[in-house]
């Protein structure tokens, strides 16, 4: 168990320069209000990933805007390096869902990705999921195929 946690932490440590780390560290929403997930190792191998980290929480309008601004700063890396990204918008039963996933410049031989999913329509709050992934998966299109979206 300790080895798994140390492996997970070392994966994320490689990317702490990302603005998105502020979200995982509780600078926008306290970590007590988040469902935090970290996975590394063989459980991810069929997706060609070696590390996965997510934070899911209900956010006020202001918090959701702060999250979007932070993710946009990391998305600028994607745009600057002309890397792949996908955005999908849906509206179903009064719930507006927007999904964004984008590539980051590779680091230490691993391709890196961030995903932001927002679901609006929860009594003035937004359900937010932020995901950081890294591994050998080539790009956003391959990642989407492997995940099955």
Higher confidence at residue 100 or residue 146? 100
The mean pLDDT of 2-16, rounded to a whole number, is 45
Q: What is the rounded average pLDDT for all residues in the chain?
A: 88
Percent of the chain with pLDDT over 70: 88
The encoded tokens of residue 104 equal 């980051």
pLDDT tens-digit map of 81-134: 999 999 999 998 888 999 999 999 999 999 999 999 999 986 778 999 999 999
pLDDT above 90: percentage of residues in the chain: 73
Instruction: Walk across the sheet containing 49-59 and list its strands.
Output: 35-40, 49-59, 125-135, 110-122, 95-107, 85-92
In our burial notation (b when 16+ CB lie closer than 10 A, e otherwise), range 16-40 reads eebbbbebbeeebbeeeebeeebbb
Residue-level pLDDT at 94: 81
Q: 78, exposed or middle or buried, with CB in 10 Å at 0-12, 13-18, 19+?
A: buried
Pick from 133, 129, 115, 102: nearest CA to 14: 133
């Amino acid at each position: 168990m300790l080895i798994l946690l140390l492996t997970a932490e070392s994966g994320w440590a490689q990317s702490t320069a990302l603005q998105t780390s502020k979200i995982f560290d509780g600078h926008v929403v306290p970590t007590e209000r988040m469902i935090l997930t970290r996975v590394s190792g063989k459980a991810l191998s069929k997706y060609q990933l070696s590390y996965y980290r997510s934070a899911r929480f209900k956010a006020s309008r202001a918090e959701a805007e702060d999250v979007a601004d932070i993710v946009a700063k990391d998305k600028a890396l994607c745009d600057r390096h002309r890397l792949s990204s996908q955005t999908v918008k849906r509206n179903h039963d009064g719930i507006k869902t927007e999904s964004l996933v984008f590539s980051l410049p590779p680091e230490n031989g691993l391709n890196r990705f961030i995903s932001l999913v927002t679901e609006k329509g929860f009594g003035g709050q937004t359900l937010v999921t932020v995901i950081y992934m890294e591994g050998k998966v080539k790009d956003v299109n391959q990642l989407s195929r492997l995940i099955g979206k």
